[in-house]
Structure 1
Amino acid sequence: MKKITQLAFFLLVALLLSCGGESYNAASNDGGISGTGNGSSKSSLAGSAYKGPFIQDSEVNVLKIEGDSSSIIASSQVQANLGDFILEVEPGLLSVAVSGRFYDETDATYSEETVNLKALVNKDPEQQANIFVNALTLLSHDLMVELINQGNSYEQASSAAETRVKTLLAAVTGDIPTSQPFINMNIANSTGTTSGDNAYSLYISSLFSEAVNERRVEEPQYSMSTLLSTLRADILNDKPIDDATLLSLQEANGRLDAASIQQNLEAVLIGETIAPVGDVIEAVTPGLVPPSNLTTFTDASNPASFSQRFCFDMNLDCSNPKHKAEIVNAQGFSYDLQIDDNADFSSPIVSLQDWQRNYYEIEHASLGSGTRYFRVRKSHDDGQLSLWAQTDFVVP
């Protein structure tokens, strides 16, 4: 197991400390266990960094947060290509920042770009801590700092920020239950972690990688840093995911292969049990299915007021009068509807949310004339949004 060397290291440090400090100076600027630091009351901070595991020699910096300012108090590097690190730090509110390349679990390659991830930890004096720095801890980091500066406790800030992150991502994932803070979530089922939480974290990591890799085909400059920066801004500003990013993430879900992800990670995390990411993929996928059998029909029964019908999630087309028997109220979700004269839906003429029925009708008089575009998606009660179903029609 890859943790054996770490455990031996902790035992060695404990032994040296028990010898009265002559062989190991806890207050030394030499950094003790690894890296450099300063201060007089230090204890161990160990952990792993992953967006896939970070590779050896990735930089690890620990900053002490004090109000609106921060200062580096310890530095180190990732040990081997497993994302592991260990430092000696002062107690207090600390930001652990890791910068480097990572192993992409979706295609079994090492990233070309350098990614920066962070985690915020409230380090107790003289108490060893073990944390995981990941994409989720990055997304919650800045909001946590802001909330703490507003007078909230670390626990209050952590809970509020993580809730907002999960609410944002629910547009893709739905409400996936978790029980542990992000900082305790690992891609492998390490001792002391929770399998379901780890599966959620691994799913998010894999989803981000797949979305970036695919979008980069059309936009070569698009990167993991771009995606993470976009989502961080959404978290801070309490805004939903923009349409382009949402579509990238939704489509990425359909390409995730749980067996490949597990096999790829087992090749580098030798001896570890990989989190069951397939459970989350299966939970997410059904909610992304768009409304089915979308049809449209021009009702000319009253020449003075032509109207356009839209039917979806029915077995019958709108042109069949029997379709009315299949009009039902949605259960467990509602529909979002849009009509636009632009195919990109940049300026909707009609935009409705929480529509309860699988049928919609509108008079032509309110739509102008020419080609119009209609789309509909499901908005599930747990926050998940399906892909859009789309069609076009002509208004005389």
Structure 2
Amino acid sequence: MKKITQLAFFLLVALLLSCGGESYPLASNDGGISGTGNGSSKSSLAGSAYKGPFIQDGEVIVISIEGDNSSEIANSQIRDNLGDFLLEVEPGLLSVSATGRFYDETEATYSEESVTLKALVNKDPEQQASIFVNALTLLSHDLAVELINQGNSYEQATLEAENKVKDLLTAVTGDIPTSQSFLNMNISNTPGTTAEDNAYSLYISSLFTEAVNERRVEAPQYTMTMLLNTLAADVINGDPIDEDTLASLQEANGRLDAASIQQNLEAVLIGETIAPIGDVIETVSPGLVPPSNLTTSADPVAGAQRFCFDMTADCSSPEHKAEITVAQGHTYDLQIDDNADFSSPIVSLQDWQRNYFDIEHASLGSGTRYFRVRKSHDDGQLSLWAQTDFVVP
């Protein structure tokens, strides 16, 4: 795909889109949902599935959730290469699951991997429903179901679950305000959606894709499903993002190209206004920059090791003392280890407030040691680590 001309690419996309004209049944049961009644209480449930847009022939399944019981009540297929689907369902608490391949908005290719995304919907019997099934709705789905089973209302459960997802992702994104439910977040500015929320949704979609693509360079078996399952488990368990996944997401941010993503999506979402992902990239990126000019120097008189960061002067220069400041808007996380992968830190400090740190050699043993530092911003965002090594005599 990367080697074909732009004209050939657009012709290929047009050909793929032209395959979306076939019709599919709205549901698998013609005589009423699950064989009960005559279907008179059914109403339409329309929407789109994307991690970029799902492609034609992906499967959509709707499950009715009642306490600890659940049952499939409808199924259909993705109708086109835009991720669109349409079913008729009975009202109530519904889990909508979409499984299929998707368009990779970062590389302008179609995925080889098939993924499953879910969304939780409280279907009103009096209203037609239109939803977006996406990575964010998947991450909040299981926790919302659990909270509802604990006695919370749908509104309370979904709000709390969505906040937990956003709290988890602040380690990368920082605090980005949103106003709409995840169900109402698209990757283009369709009527009834909010551009800022759509931009957040598109950013998360592209960030996940870029992180998986890059991680596959060293781990070819790594998949989008693995990433989504890892993050969904963190949401349920209340755990922070593990260091390997966090690093993948942080580094992926630096490779996102807003102009390319917009152009790629415009080629498939013809006539749509793509969400302004560049605004989010510009908001997120400064906070991911690691502490600058990390240097280290041994103090033979005190028998200690000094570390300086976010200074112009190096630790070896007496002028560094004039540049020691108290952090504003962030603190520092510090680690020292005898392993380069920091798997068993000798020192691990959080909320360190100065851009200077020293430690006596006697507490570190002897040999090569590794030091790293990152910023922990007040809104929860974590920067990349700055790292150096030193020798303890």
Q: Is structure 2 residue 359 aligned with structure 1 residue 393?
A: no
Map of 1:333 onto structure 2: 330
- Give CA-to-partner distance per residue, 1:352-393, whole Å, 9 cap, x none: 001000000111111111111000000011111100000011
Q: Which residue of 1 aligns with 2:5?
A: none
Aligned to 2:122: 122
Contact 1:92–1:123, Cα closer than 8 Å, also in 2: yes
- Measure, in 2, the Cα distance between the counterparts of 1:36 and 1:174: 45
Task: Give the equivalent residue in structure 1 for 2:307.
Answer: 310
Q: Partner residue of 2:248?
A: 248
Instruction: Measure, in 1, the Cα distance between the counterparts of 2:130 and 2:355.
Output: 50
Post-superposition offset of 1:126:
2.8
2:378 equivalent in structure 1: 381
Count of aligned residue pairs for this structure pair: 366
Q: What does residue 20 of structure 1 align with?
A: none
In 2, Cα distance between equivalents of 1:227 and 1:328: 38
Residue 289 (structure 2) pairs with residue 292 (structure 1): no
- Which residue identity is paired with 1:203? Y
Indicate the residue corresponding to 1:94 in structure 2. Answer: 94
Instruction: State the match for 1:202 in structure 2.
Output: 202
| Equivalence map 1:69-148=2 (5 Å) | 69-148=69-148
Query: Offset of 1:294 from its aligned partner?
Result: 0.5
1:17 corresponds to: none
Ranges in structure 1 where 5+ consecutive residues have no aligned partner: 1-25
Identity, % of aligned positions = 80
1:29 Cα deviation from its structure 2 partner: 3.6
**8 Å contact from structure 1 (residues 187, 201) kept in 2:** yes
Give per-residue Cα distances to partners, 1:171-196, cap 9 Å, x unaligned: 11111110001000000000000000
Letter in 2 for 1:220: P
Measured after TM superposition, the shift of residue 322 of structure 1 is: 1.5
Question: Residue 261 and residue 28 in structure 1: after superposition, are their counterparts in 2 closer, same or farther (change >3 A)?
Answer: closer
Q: Alpha-carbon deviations, 1:72-109, whole Å to 9, x = none?
A: 10111111100011111011000000000000100011
Contact 2:27 2:87 in 1 (8 A): no
Say yes or no: does 1:271 pair with 2:271: yes
Which shows bigger deviation, 92-101 or 37-46? 37-46
Is 1:189 the counterpart of 2:189 in the alignment? yes
> What's the CA shift for 1:205?
0.2
Structure 2 counterpart of 1:319, from 301, 304, 316: 316
Task: Give 1:342's aligned amino acid.
Answer: N
State how far apart, in whole Å, the 1-side matches of 2:153 and 2:45 are: 21
What is the one-letter code of the residue matched to 1:366?
S
Q: 1:8 aligns to what?
A: none
Q: Classify the secondary structure of the residue corresponding to 2:81.
A: helix
* TM-score (norm: length of structure 1): 0.90
Secondary structure at the residue paired with 1:245?
helix
- 1:144, 1:157 within 8 Å by CA — same for their partners in 2? yes
| Structure 2 counterpart SS, 1:88 | strand
- Between the aligned partners of 1:210 and 1:31, the Cα distance in structure 2 is 45
SS of residue in 2 equivalent to 1:81: coil
What code does the residue aligned with 2:360 have?
E
Q: TM-score, normalised by structure 2?
A: 0.91
Separation in 2 of the partners of 1:332 and 1:247?
22
